[in-house]
Amino acid sequence: MIRTFKEHLIRQTLELDGSWDFILDPQNIGQSEKWQERFPQDHRSMFVPACWNNELNLFDYEGVAWYRTSFHNLQEQHVRLIFHAVLGHADVYVDGIHLGYHYGGYSPFQFDLERLSAGNHELIVRTDSTLDKLTIPTEVVDWFHYGGIIRPVELQLLPDVYIDTWRVEYELAGRDADVSITVRLRSAAAEEQQVPLSVYEGGRLIHNETVQVSAGQTSVSIKQKWSDVRLWNVGKPELYSIRVVAGQDDVIDRIGFRRIETKDHRILINGVPVYLQGVNRHEEHPEWGFAFPPKLMQKDLDIILELGCNTVRGSHYPQSKYWLDLLDEHGIVFWSEIPMWGCFIPRDTLGNTLFRDRALAMIDEMIERDYHHPCIVFWSVHNEIDTTCEEAEWLTKPLVDLVRRKDSSRLVTYATMHPLKDILLPLFDVIGINKYNGWYEGQVEGFAQLLEQFHARADALGAGDKPVLMTEFGAAGIFGDVGWEPRLFSEDYQAHVVSTALRIFKEDPRIGGTYIWQFSDVRADLKSSGTHFRDRARSFNNKGLVNEYRKPKQVYRTVRDIYRSWK
Ligand code: ADA
């Protein structure tokens, strides 16, 4: 299930989920032996979507794996194959023919196959989950190195003239909106066609015309003035469902009207300052890895609402559309980011063109996919890279420029772990600080002094007027480990660190909100062969407010009292 609502009433769609043929290729011989033409006999099966590391005997496997399934065309027809997320490198073959390559992990890519013949077709996907110095994330990362096809593979049947892409944008003045809808049609027919094109809002026809469509692409731009729109507010969301019908094809998405600004160190939604009360959420579970099922998203949402949150940071990658739909529906602010994490090797990584190109592609795909979601307020370009070096500046400027070019309605941000030495502060609309006083360094009470020093530095760099969000802080607490003394790794100590930090941040008028690290415990990058993060007890990052099965720790109840009292 990809969305909480139907995206098409006419276009036929099918999720190719279930059991696929699967084989590991640790020596990477499949390409030379042309497995795309003759898939090996000795395969096992693997569920799609899933992470293979959650299956028996595959916990440790990082590398190449091949998947195979088939689908049937009742007649010759145009087919779109959408891969909603495949971790790492992906090569896709249909009937032995290479359709293309994609690098990424958490955003979709697709192929249109025009006039695909009737009959059975074999679909093969080669994936490679290997992380290195130039992958995003790189090989040193504090989450589990999963592999696999982690989100649905969707097959869509397209008519001769179909909606290729579309976008709804608006300018808001009070409650009046200048709405512009751009639809890009694609025609697989040789002759010119007359195509009726209609737009509906909540089922009501709001536009109708006939479009002359020639072979290839045709763009249609519709401009309207809407007055008295219902605004999407935090905790009180209003959504508009827009449907475009072009001949025998249709698409549906939802938008929400809201204005995002910053003023006096606060984030303003529709002119109202909102103190952000949030958590960092990995979309991860010990049984499903990153192939997180919608039913559990609903549960995560309920637990987060119960906690008194009005925001979530999607640490550290674009999260499922289904999750964003839920946040849209509940008026929760979302921070979306690409999985650039850490990267402590300036020359080799941050200064590398391939690395930067990969980041640009990921940002592009994230914004393309999620532009319509009103819940998204922040686009974040990286987390905890070495922001003290020139390479970071060389890398970051084009990333920020790309975000601004693609979407000027939202705020561009990042999360720094070097607040006192960071040279990038002036580039952003909002600054996120990750610091672990009370855990990795010093006492939690030291936060007050750290922030004083930070503000002085931000002022000196001319970035003193920007809102600052505490995007990470916390401590590990092993579920069930309680006692009388404030021992590291106890639930008691964790609750002490988080509650003290929250109060210090709230008293600082220049802090606009908090994202506790983290919502739930998650698997750490600690396999038998792992050399990093060896301090992660149980091979988990235990800083969750709830454990990996979403059972509350003491800190959950403490934070609930605090967040709810601030609402
Ligand atoms: C960093 C990082 C998180 C997590 C955290 C921790 O701030 O961004 O992903 O690794 O530290 O628990 O140490």
pLDDT tens, 456-475?
999 999 999 999 999 999 99
pLDDT band at 486 (very low <50, low <70, confident <90, very high): confident
Q: Which residue has the higher pLDDT, 567 or 136?
A: 136
The pLDDT of residue 527: 65
> Which tokens is 155 given?
């097959």
Mean per-residue pLDDT over the chain, rounded? 97
The pLDDT of residue 528: 60
Beta bridge partners of 541: 522
Condensed to tens digits (0 to 9), the pLDDT of residues 189-245 reads: 999 999 999 999 999 999 999 999 999 999 999 999 999 999 999 999 999 999 999
Ligand 1 first shell, C-beta below 6 A: 142, 316, 383-384, 434, 472, 517, 541, 543
Look at ligand 1, atom 3, and give the residue with the nearest C-alpha: 142
Burial, 30: exposed, middle or buried (Cβ in 10 Å; 0-12, 13-18, 19+)?
buried
The amino acid present at 535, given as its one-letter code, is D
Q: Are strands 511-516 and 468-472 parallel, antiparallel or unpaired?
A: parallel
Q: What is the DSSP string of 253-307?
A: EEE-B--EEEETTEEEETTEEE-EEEEE----BTTTBT---HHHHHHHHHHHHHH
pLDDT band at 499 (very low <50, low <70, confident <90, very high): very high
Phi, psi of 13 (to 5 degrees): -135, 150
Condensed to tens digits (0 to 9), the pLDDT of residues 529-559 reads: 667 787 899 999 999 999 999 999 999 999 9
Condensed to tens digits (0 to 9), the pLDDT of residues 344-361 reads: 788 899 999 999 999 999
Least trusted range by pLDDT, from 38-47, 95-104, 402-411, 533-542: 533-542
Q: What is the mean pLDDT of residues 368-377?
A: 98
Q: How far is the CA of 535 from the centre of ligand 1 (A)?
A: 12
Tell me which H or E stretch contains 452.
Answer: helix 447-460
pTM listed for this prediction: 0.98
Phi, psi of 252 (to 5 degrees): -130, 140
> pLDDT at residue 451 above 80?
yes
Least trusted range by pLDDT, from 21-25, 138-142, 289-293, 296-300: 138-142
The pLDDT of residue 345: 80
Q: How far is the CA of 342 from the centre of ligand 1 (A)?
A: 9
Q: What is the mean pLDDT of residues 413-436?
A: 98
The pLDDT of residue 406: 98
Condensed to tens digits (0 to 9), the pLDDT of residues 41-67 reads: 999 999 999 999 999 999 999 999 999
For residue 384, give the ligand 1 atom closest to its CA: 8
Quick check: 232 and 239 in contact, CB under 8 A? yes
The pLDDT of residue 533: 80
Residue from 472, 497, 519 to probe ligand 1 pocket by mutation (most atoms less than 8 Å from CB): 472
The structural domains of the chain, ordered by start, are 13-158 (2.60.120.260), 161-258 (2.60.40.10), 273-566 (3.20.20.80)
Q: What is the DSSP string of 365-393?
A: HHHHHHTT-TTEEEEEEEES--TTSHHHH
Output DSSP code: residue 488: T
Alpha-carbon gap, residue 400 to 222, rounded angstroms: 29
